[in-house]
Amino acid sequence: MINIDNIDSTIDPPNELNTIQQELINRGDGKYFKVDKPKDNKLIVRREFTLDLAICLVYVYKHYRYSESNPKITDYFPKKVLTQYLIEHPQITRNFKRLKYWDLITPMPTSPTEIKYKKGWYGITENGIAFVQKEIGLPKYAFVYNDYAFEHQTNPYVMITDLINEKDLEIILEPH
């Protein structure tokens, strides 16, 4: 067994890195899983990152930034709370949970040992914050099977300002 605590921050050669990665995977012993690509391509759905999803994410970000309860990034909230200012626009919030395909929100886990989530409860991720703050771009398309994104199309990438123009984004981001 490799003692990972005493390893330097740079690992060379690459095969040593592969050994360490495999050790970590083995140590996980089934705690993590990767959705395999289905044998039938008809089961794969291509999802696009849309303007509606970008608007939903901005309002989630606003909740974390301006809420009177001063939430931490590790807090989870019901979808109704996160999208409370969009209540009159169900067409925008209809696909809210698709934000998880790009790791912008995460469902609330309910078990430390099983893959179970509390229905309708979500938290923002660091990627969600970085995307709203114009620090990262995202692949425009996610390939989804069984409600999990197993692959992304890396070209084209989108920035939030490709979907919401700069002035509108500033207006939306203002506190209420």
What is the radius of gyration, based on Cα positions, of the chain?
19
Residue 21 lies in a domain: no
State pTM to two decimals. 0.75
pLDDT of 25 reads 63
Residue 104 lies in a domain: yes
pLDDT of 101 reads 93
Residue 151 lies in a domain: yes
The arithmetic mean of pLDDT across residues 112-136, rounded, is 88
Residue 83 lies in a domain: yes
Total structural domains within the chain = 1
The arithmetic mean of pLDDT across residues 59-78, rounded, is 87
The arithmetic mean of pLDDT across residues 85-107, rounded, is 90
Contact residues for 106 (Cβ-Cβ < 8 A; gap 6+): 100, 122, 123, 124, 125
The arithmetic mean of pLDDT across residues 7-21, rounded, is 60
Is 95 within 8 Å of 80 (Cβ atoms)?
no
The arithmetic mean of pLDDT across residues 102-117, rounded, is 84
pLDDT of 75 reads 87
pLDDT in tens, 41-61: 778 899 999 999 999 999 999
Residue-range definition of the domain harbouring residue 103:
34-173
Buried-exposed string 84-123: b where 16+ CB fall within 10 A, e elsewhere: eebeeeeebbeebbbbbbbbbbbbbeeeeeeeebeeebbb
Is the confidence at residue 12, as pLDDT, over 60? no
pLDDT of 127 reads 93
Residue 147 lies in a domain: yes
The arithmetic mean of pLDDT across residues 157-176, rounded, is 90
Four-CA torsion 7, 12, 13, 16, nearest 10 degrees: 20
Contact residues for 131 (Cβ-Cβ < 8 A; gap 6+): 57, 102, 104, 137, 138, 160
% pLDDT > 90, the chain: 37
What is the rounded CA–CA span in Å between residue 59 and residue 171? 12
pLDDT of 8 reads 47
Residue 140 lies in a domain: yes
